[in-house]
Each structure stands twice: as structure tokens, then as C-alpha cells.
Chain A
Amino acid sequence: MAFPANYQKMKKYKITISGMHCASCASNIERSLKKIPGVKEASVSLMLKKGKVEAEDNVREEELRKAVERTGYKATGVESE
């Protein structure tokens, strides 16, 4: 009752990304991840080659992987926390 009807549990993901080598790569991936409905926050680190995503519970790991690949990079691992 305390939660609004559309309340979704948030989940955090850590994505390992390969193939990034420039700053615009990172911002492209962020943009692509944020386009997935349900993704609230996405931040990609070029230095760590990792992305951090905060998304609603119903977002599937496969969608995240696809979003990374759509921009031309590889998601070598998706872990949820």
C-alpha cells in the first residue's frame, strides 16, 4: 500500500564491455542503455571498461547486452548485484 501501483523494485547491474577506446564510445553506450524502457541510470567507465546500470526488475540482462551491442561494442559479462 505504501508503494504506488507502478512501483518496481530497482536492480543494479554491472556490465563488462570490450572494444571501447574513446570517450564518445562510452557516451554512446550510455545513451543506448538509457533508451531501454525501465533503465533509470546508466554510467559507463572507459577506464574500467565497465558499465553500471540501475534498472527496474523487469529489464532483462539480454536487453542490456543488446543495447551495448547495438552501438558496436561487446558486453562480455552482465552481473546483477
Chain B
Amino acid sequence: MENMDNHHHEQPVEDDEIKDWRKKLLWSWVFTIPIALLMLSERIFGFEIIEMPYSIIVILILAFPIVFIFGHNTIKGGIRGLFTFYFNMDSLIALGTIVAYLTGIFSLFELVADYSGVSAMIMAFFTTGKYVEALARGRASQEIRKLLELGAKNARIIRGNKEYKIPISEVNVGDLMIVKPGEKIPTDGIVAKGESAVDESMVTGESLPVDKLKGSNVIGATINQDGILYVRATKVGRDTFLAHIIKLVEETQSEKIPIQKLADKITSIFVPLILGIAILTFVNWWYIGGDLSRAIGVGVAVLVIACPCALGLATPTALMVGSGMGARRGILIRKGEAIQTIKEVKTIVFDKTGTITKGKPEVREIYSKIKENYLLEIAGSLENLSEHPLSRAIVDKAKLKKYRKVTGFRILRGRGVEGRISGKEIIIGNTILMKEQRISTKDVDEKIRSFEEKGYTAIIVSENRKVLGIIGVADSVKEDSISAMFEMKEMGFKTVMITGDNEITARAIAKEVGINEIIANVLPEDKAKKVEELQKSSMVAFVGDGINDAPALKQSNVGIAMGTGTDIAIESGDIVLAKGSLGGVVSAIKLSRATFSKIKQNLFWAFAYNVIAIPLAVAGVLHPVIAEIAMALSSITVVTNANLLRRKEI
């Protein structure tokens, strides 16, 4: 029942906020425009519509609702902040507008000049600025909102030969769902019947439809194209692929990026600092300048020009747009920090199997000194007991109807397998294993070499310590590995492939893909250590499937985990790719770079704004209303600039 929990709390908040600001904004201007006309009447029309001092009274009456009714929340929050010492920017606006408003009352006794109209204008512009900012912030999160809306609302399920349409929240694991052409697949599942192509672009970024048949995994929220699929639900609610993506994206948002630290520190002391500056400015202008009215005007300008918002919004908005863009393309930035770190990375290490290659090795060539059938029979029987991908390749090739009985079976990690069949000692594995066991490979060494030069992994089959033959297994390279590798080289990265294969095989594959360096003969558990060694000379990114290379992903400066179909390696990896192709790595790097440079730009503007604007206000150059407009524009600029990130080609 708690399934669809992603849907209700997020979205309305933003919309309500926008609606709220819009309402306040409209009413504020309804009252502000007459005030402006009154204040400027002499300059515009050459006469006063209402004579002084009655005009001040009218302005005070008109300004009251703007400041104290439409601006009620701001005033309340601000005053409260002043008393509890949790200052926020409302405190500045509240103080500025109240002081300005009070001058109107005092001016009736000719104590100071009247700024009451100004108080209304400040509040009106403040409200307008907040409204525009809320709109822009809403735009910044549009990709993530789209993700939230992506989930199917209903499912058609079969219960007891009957078809029912039920809300998605009532689907249970194990339910059989029917998905018609053009419909969304309600939740993650496995195809029980039917064949179709499915558009998965919305969650993996894969642009071509993916063929699905009996036994295929399907992802909820993807769209069935042309056939009817019967899907058995395997994951619902929080456990689905989509729910995981949303969770990842949300987590990124609450991450802090190192570059943001200074801005955050300034933000946290910003308001008290400005209050101090405003008071000093006021005292200074009054004491030295001797003009109380002018001192009030300048003080108010300082209060309202300063805004921590631009500083505070600079990073999160850009990160929001960037991570949202990524999510739509199957690039999930899990650690916000990664987008900063990746800039320093010089070396990218790729795991071979499943990353550069498809991870589905096949037997390519067999050299047998005896009957090939017999070789495959004993190899197939023995390897059938192992789950290693190379073993699977041999089992698939042998396609045995009946397996021979194996006794004393043992897996020799990273080297091979051994066991007994009909009393004969069978050892199957790489050359290291043969050497270890002192089995001579002299007469087949040349054959082994020729296999390796083709990029095959040579698996030697021996019986009673005599070599029977060699099986050449190779894993084909993923379609886009070569072009992705080329691009990464162009970008100036040193590319390294890490593999358990031996030197010659590894080199052949590296050459095919276009990789600079190889680290061969590495046992899975040693990958992290190799990464650590490379880190001595530069920052290292590691790209792997996240299943058996989690330690290496963690050890690297930026771990990029590749998803495999319906599972995303959530716990490992700073960046997670939903689609298992190296093209995603290139996109992830580009996206990180673009996002980070946007953040830098934003921070620069935000700092520059405050550094220039505050002294100008202190100097008394800026009218308070102009100061308020500048403030509103500064945060709008930052958020809008973040939205411009979307124009980048990723």
C-alpha cells in the first residue's frame, strides 16, 4: 500500500509555492501602482494628484496591506529570526520595509523624509523576484518531476483467468500482468509469455527499442511497442528500478560539493554580517553626514540589496539541472562530489569483462589432439560445476545431453578447475595453472600463443597431466567501446584496461579497442590494489560493473558503476550508469564537466554581485528600490543560468 509514496509529497509543494507567490505578487502590484503614481505624479504629470501631507497618509494606507498583509509571512519570519538569532533573508527585508514604512508616519511630524512608498515597492519587487525565482527553480527540477511522473498508474493483471485493471499500488510480486502495445509496463518483471520491443529510453537513455521475449527482464515505466507481453511482477513500490533512480537523484541533491563550502559558510553568517554593515552605514551617514533621512535611505538600501540567495542557490540549482539531465539519459550522479573530482582525473581504468566486453564469452576456436567430442565432454562436465563466465562458455559450446560424474571438484580461483572423471585426473585452466601443476605445454605453446594473439583466452584441458587440447574463448567487445575509447583519448585521458587475462590476450583486446595500457593477470581481489598503485601518479576513475569490483570502485577517486540490464549497482560507484555501455562514461564525463563549470560560473556571479553591490549601497549610490530590484535579479540570474545548462550537448 505504501507503494506510490513518491507521488504525493514532492510535487505539490513547488506548485503551491508558485501559486502563493503569484497571488501575493498580483495583489501587491494592484496597490503599488497607485503608490508609484502618487509618488511620481509631480515628475510625470507636473502636479500633485493629492497634496502633501495627505498623499503620505494615502500612501501609508495603501502600503499597509502590501507590507503587512501580503508580506505577512516575510515580516513574521523575519522578525522571528531577529529575536531567535536564526536570521534569514526575511529578517533583512522585514527590517528594511518596516523602517521605511515607519518613516512615513514620522514624516507626518516632519522628523524625517518619507520612505513609506519605498517600503511598498521593496515588498512588491521582493515578491515578484521570489515568484520568478520559484518558477525558475521549478524548471530546474523538471526532469526529476518527469521521472516521478513516469511510473504507470494502473496495471492490468490476470487473476483466475480474468483480467482486472487495478491501481499500481495494489500489484504484488508474482502477479501476472498483461501489457498491450503502446502501454507502459506497470512495474519491474520478467516476461512470462509473448514477444515485443520495449522502449527503455526514459530510464536507461538507450535510444533503440530493446527486444524482449520469454525470460527477459523488463523495467517498469518503459513502453511496450508492438507485441502483447505477459509479465510476471518481480519488484514493486520502493524496490523498482525507477524508485531506485529517483532515490539516487534525490540523494545527490542533498549532497554538498566541496566547492560549495565557502559559499555555505558565507551564507550562514551573511545575514548578521549585513545587519552589522547596515547599522554601521546608518550610524556613519547620520553621525558624519548629519542627515538622518539620507542615513535611513542608505541603510535600507544596504539591507535590501544584500541577498544570500544567489550564493546559496548557485550550486544546488546547477546540480539539480545537471543530475536531472543525467537521470533522463541513464547517468546517475550518486555522489555530487564526483562532478568536481572528475575534473582532476587523468587516468581511467576499465575492467575488461562486462565493461569493455559484453561479459558473455563464447568459444571461438578449439584445438584438440584427440577427438573433439571427448575433449568437450570432459571439459563440459567439469566446467558445468563452475559459475565462471569462461566455464559457462565451454558448457554452452559442449551442449552435453548427459554430464559425466565428477568427483573431487575444486575451483582454483583465477586459474581454473580440477576434478576426477572415471578415476582420471582432469585439470583445466590457464598456463599459470599448468605451470603450477608442472604439466608440460611445450608441444602446444605455439598454438596457445596464436590463440592469445587473436585475443582469445586459451584454456588448456589436461587429463592425467597430459594436455588434450586447448579451447579458445573470447568475449566480444561492446559495439560502442571503440568509439567511446577514442573520445576519451581525445579528451586527454590515459586509458588502462585491467583484466585477469594474460598479457598477450589482454594486449590483443587493448589493441582492438584502442586502449593505452594494460594490467594483465590480475586476480579479482587485487583490482583495488592496482588502482591504488595508479593513484600514486594521478587521480584515477574506475569503470566496472559493480558486482565483483566494488572494492576497486571504492578505492578509485571516481567510481563509475555500469548497470547490467535491470539492476543498478547502487551501493558502489559515485556515478552509476543505467545502460551498460562505455558511451555512457563519455556522457557522464561531459555532463560532470558542464555541470561543474556552471556551478563555478554561478558562484562567481553570486560572489561578484555581492562584492560590487554592497559597497555601492553603502556608498549611498543606490536608491533602495533599485537595490531591491538588483537583489531580486541576482538570484533570478543564478537560477536561470543553471537552467541554461540544458543547452549543452551531452
A residues sitting closer than 8 Å to B (CB atoms) are 16, 18-19, 21-28, 31-32, 43-52, 70-72, 76-77
A14 smallest CB distance to B (angstroms):
9
The reply to whether B77 and A47 contact each other, CB–CB distance below 8 Å, is: no
The reply to whether B320 and A24 contact each other, CB–CB distance below 8 Å, is: no
B312 at the binding interface (Cβ < 8 Å) = yes
A-side contacts of B134, CB under 8 Å: 21
The reply to whether B268 and A27 contact each other, CB–CB distance below 8 Å, is: yes
Cα distance A26–B267 when bound, in Å? Answer: 10
- A sample of 19 inter-chain contacts (CB < 8 A) reads A16-B13, A19-B73, A22-B89, A23-B308, A24-B270, A24-B312, A27-B312, A28-B86, A28-B88, A45-B254, A46-B313, A46-B316, A47-B317, A48-B250, A48-B254, A49-B13, A50-B253, A72-B80, A72-B81
Cα distance A49–B13 when bound, in Å? Answer: 8
The main secondary structure of chain A at its interface with chain B is: mixed
The main secondary structure of chain B at its interface with chain A is: helix
Quick one: CB contact mask for B72-101 with A, threshold 8 Å, 1 for yes?
Answer: 010011001100101111100000000000
Besides A23-B308, A23-B313, A46-B313, 16 new A-B residue pairs in contact (Cβ under 8 A), listed by A number = A16-B13, A22-B89, A22-B312, A23-B309, A23-B312, A27-B267, A27-B268, A31-B86, A48-B250, A50-B250, A50-B253, A52-B254, A70-B86, A71-B81, A72-B80, A76-B9
For B84, B254, B270, which residue has the most chain A Cβ atoms within 10 angstroms? Answer: B254
B473 smallest CB distance to A (angstroms):
44
Given contacts A52-B254, A71-B86, contact A24 B313 (CB under 8 A): no
Given contacts A22-B308, A23-B267, A72-B81, contact A47 B137 (CB under 8 A): yes
Given contacts A43-B254, A48-B250, A71-B86, contact A24 B271 (CB under 8 A): yes
B residues sitting closer than 8 Å to A (CB atoms) are 9-10, 13, 17, 73, 76-77, 80-81, 84, 86-90, 130, 134, 137, 140-141, 250, 253-256, 264, 267-268, 270-271, 307-309, 311-313, 316-317, 320
The reply to whether A21 and B86 contact each other, CB–CB distance below 8 Å, is: no
Given contacts A31-B86, A46-B313, contact A77 B9 (CB under 8 A): yes
A-side contacts of B268, CB under 8 Å: 24, 27-28, 31
The reply to whether A46 and B77 contact each other, CB–CB distance below 8 Å, is: no
Cα distance A27–B272 when bound, in Å? Answer: 13
B-side contacts of A45, CB under 8 Å: 253-254, 316
A51 smallest CB distance to B (angstroms):
8
Cα distance A76–B264 when bound, in Å? Answer: 25
A-side contacts of B270, CB under 8 Å: 24
A-side contacts of B73, CB under 8 Å: 19
The reply to whether B312 and A21 contact each other, CB–CB distance below 8 Å, is: no
Tell which of B253, B264, B320 touches A27, judged by Cβ atoms closer than 8 Å.
Answer: B264
B-side contacts of A77, CB under 8 Å: 9
The reply to whether B88 and A24 contact each other, CB–CB distance below 8 Å, is: yes
Cα distance A46–B253 when bound, in Å? Answer: 9
A-side contacts of B9, CB under 8 Å: 16, 76-77
A19 smallest CB distance to B (angstroms):
8
Cα distance A24–B80 when bound, in Å? Answer: 14
Q: Which 5 A-B pairs have the closest CB atoms?
A: A23-B312, A27-B268, A24-B88, A28-B86, A45-B254
